[in-house]
Amino acid sequence: MNAKVQLRILIVILMAVGLGTALIKHYQIGYPLIPKQQIPIWTIEAKVNFFATGDPVKVKFAVPGEQNNFGILEEAGSSHDYGFIPAGDLSGSDGFYRYVTWSISEATGLQELYYRVDIYQKKNFELLDLESPPLNPSKKYEEDPLAIAAEELVKSAQYHSADAVTYVGQVIQLLNNEADQNVQTLLSATRTDLDRTRLLNTLIIKGGYESHLIRALLLAETSTKQALQPMVVLIEDGQRYLFNWGTPQPQQQMNLLAWQRGGPSLIEIEGGRNATVEFSVIKQALPASFVLEQASRQREKKLMDFSLTSLSVEQQDSYRLLLTIPFGALIVVILRNIIGIRTTGTFMPILLAMAFLRTNLGPGILLFIIVVSAGLTVRAYLTKLDLLLVPRISAVVVVVIGIMVSFGIFGSKFDLDILRSVTLFPTIILAWTVERLSVLWEEDGPKEVGIQTLGSLTVAILAYLAMGNPILRYQVFIFPELILVALAIILALGQYSGYRLSELLRFAPLVKTNQEDGK
């Protein structure tokens, strides 16, 4: 396999790995592609009230877990003097069977316990992920007369329906007719909304369809003293339909959090009685990158463990700049190899662009011109002293540093930020640039010095615009694998051996002359 084929294979691999990994992080994990994108967050507080009887108290409270439509950002429990045991690892949860526990050796009178959880909405929003089999219906409907009444109602609903959705609608309409004898018999065994929803769930299962009983919480903008709503989720051909008691049409799925699935108790209390639960909800929006970083710590996803967001703030700031350098290098390759712009040094424009990011563009260009001009003047004088190369460059370094220190002192004295920012320039690079430009002046004259200086500033400005672009800086920090894409493009451009744009412009008059001669 020759080198050209190997290079093309390498380019394809780099592009596939870079883009593929970024797309996985975007679509599977939810990292946004643009900065300042926000994700809605609901802070839910559950207040548990009960009367303690003076005995040891143990309270188990059902709480939600990770679901495919909502994720857990943070959760905590609080109460006076009570011990608290969290629900455990989210990664091992199926989202519906998690309990927190409060306990105390002795308590008397009215007690208040609090559980707080921050819920965020995931990118790929779907209804509930209920892959496990539905819970068995209540056994009391297997005994007469409830069994007979349920059988009659199921037969009537099946006769007047065409599919699962219409069957559930017919069941609900039949249950709404409280004058019917069978309905009266069935409703006599129910006392609460939860009992009625259990009845609806049982009748759906008896009809041969998959149904799940859930208790859902409406995630409103702001609400207080909210209670869980018992509902059923009908699953048919991979589709999920949400129904509640009394409404034959499927309900909206958005902003409903399944707090608990099935029939287990919401609260189990030892040493207390008359428990009630009230829910308060408030909505806010947070930056998507922050939300996903916090969520990754909760879920401990392996891919996100290697995210740069896990580093300290100081380290993150350094990497935000470092990861833009490959794209600055890509701009240098395009402008030098494709456009044909001549610069002083290959990657000196990138270092200038990094300095401009610290000083801002206008002040940076002005300081660069002043320092280089002063350095060239000093270098012209040192040439007359017949110094060797290394001492001469070292002397230029000292002089450049002296100029920069002088600017810094004057900037502090007269409160001029533009002069104080000169210390952000790479000193050695400036000294070497002065040396190269002075040699170039001697060999090719001031015109070539002007061309290369202007070219360097042009490339540096374009690199500055790219490296300072907030969208690019965000993307390469969140998706650092994109530098592989930049590397692939650089390798692809490395095969280009045609005319540069500047050469085409240079030889355009010659081509025009040849065309005229050929006529």
Residues 310-335: pLDDT tens digits?
A: 565 556 667 888 889 899 999 988 88
Residue 16 has pLDDT above 90, yes or no: yes
Q: What is the CA radius of gyration of the chain?
A: 36
369 within a domain of the structure (yes/no):
yes
Any domain includes 293: no
Average pLDDT for 119-128: 67
Three-state DSSP state, 270:
strand
User: Rounded mean pLDDT of 125-138?
Assistant: 58
DSSP 95: S
Residue 62 lies in a domain: no
- Whether residue 73 contacts residue 40, with contact meaning beta carbons closer than 8 Å, is answered with no
Residue 422 gets which letter from DSSP?
A: G
Specify the pLDDT at position 302: 45
393 within a domain of the structure (yes/no): yes
Share of the chain above pLDDT 70, in %: 81
Provide the pLDDT for residue 383: 74
CB 263 within 8 A of CB 272: no
The pairing of beta strand 256-261 with beta strand 57-63: unpaired
CA-to-CA separations, 456 to 348, 352, 433, 436, 448, in angstroms, rounded = 8, 9, 10, 13, 12
- Chain segment 191-214, per-residue pLDDT in tens: 888 889 889 998 999 888 988 888
Please give the share of the chain, as a percent, with pLDDT higher than 90: 17
Q: Is residue 445 scored above 70 in pLDDT?
A: yes
Sorting pLDDT into bands at 50, 70 and 90, what band is 303?
very low
> For the chain, percent helix, then strand, then coil, each to nearest 5?
50, 20, 25
pLDDT above 50: residue 398: yes
Whether the pLDDT of residue 296 is over 90: the answer is no
* pLDDT tens per residue across span 144-157: 888 899 999 999 99
CB-CB neighbours of 168 under 10 Å: 26
Residue 407 domain flag: yes
pTM across the whole model: 0.58
Give mean pLDDT, residues 394-407.
77
| pLDDT for res 436 | 78
132-146, 352-366, 499-513: which has the highest mean pLDDT?
352-366
* Mean pLDDT value of segment 288-302: 62
**pLDDT value for 132:** 54
The per-residue pLDDT of the chain, averaged, comes to 80
Closest by CA to 268, choosing from 63, 44, 67, 43, is 63
Q: Where residue 355 falls among pLDDT bands split at 50, 70, 90?
A: confident
Distances (CA, A) of 58 to 106, 202, 244, 272: 10, 32, 32, 8
Q: What does the pLDDT read at residue 306?
A: 55
Assigned domain for 377 exists: yes
* In the predicted structure, residue 91 carries a pLDDT above the cut 60: no
Orientation of helix 348-359 relative to helix 361-383, angle to 10°? 130
Report the length, in residues, of the chain.
Answer: 519
Residues 6+ away with beta carbon under 8 Å from 327 = 466, 467, 472, 476, 483, 486
Long-range contacts of 77-84, Cβ-Cβ distance < 8 Å, separation of 24 or more: 77/102, 77/113, 77/114, 77/115, 77/116, 78/113, 78/114, 78/116, 79/111, 79/112, 79/113, 79/114, 80/112, 82/57, 82/113
Sign of the torsion formed by the C-alpha atoms of 496, 501, 502 and 507: positive
DSSP assignment of 13-61: HHHHHHHHHHHHIIIII---SSTT-EEEEEEEEEEEEEEEESS-EEEEE
Query: Taking residues 271-299, what's their average pLDDT?
Result: 78
425: in domain: yes
Distance, in Å, from the CA atom of 90 to the CA atom of 67, rounded to the nearest integer, reads 10
Task: Name, in order, each residue with C-beta under 8 angstroms of 498's C-beta and a sequence gap of 6 or more.
Answer: none
User: In angstroms, rounded to a whole number, what is the distance separating the alpha carbons of residues 257 and 219?
Assistant: 7
Q: What is the pLDDT of residue 164?
A: 92
What dihedral angle (degrees, nearest 10) is formed by the CA atoms of 176, 178, 181, 186? 70
* The Cα angle at residue 381 between residues 376 and 383, in degrees rounded to 5: 95
DSSP letter assigned to residue 94 = -
| Arithmetic mean of pLDDT, 26-37 | 73
Split into its structural domains, the chain has a count of: 1
Residue 248 pLDDT > 70: yes
- How much is the pLDDT for 301? 47
CB atoms within 10 A of CB 511: 10
Range list of H helices, 67-192: 146-159, 164-176, 181-187
Residue 175 in domain: no
Mean pLDDT of 162-188: 91
The answer to whether 263 touches 198, Cβ cutoff 8 Å, is yes
The most confident of the ranges 300-314, 322-336, 355-369 is: 322-336
Q: What is the mean pLDDT of residues 463-487?
A: 88
- Predicted confidence at residue 92, as pLDDT, reads 45
Confidence of residue 501 (pLDDT cuts 50, 70, 90): confident
Locate all alpha helices (DSSP H) within 384-495, ordered by sequence.
389-413, 417-420, 427-444, 446-467, 470-478, 482-493
Q: Are 136 and 213 in contact (CB under 8 A)?
A: no
Range of 378's domain?
A: 325-467
Tokens of 246: 């009394």
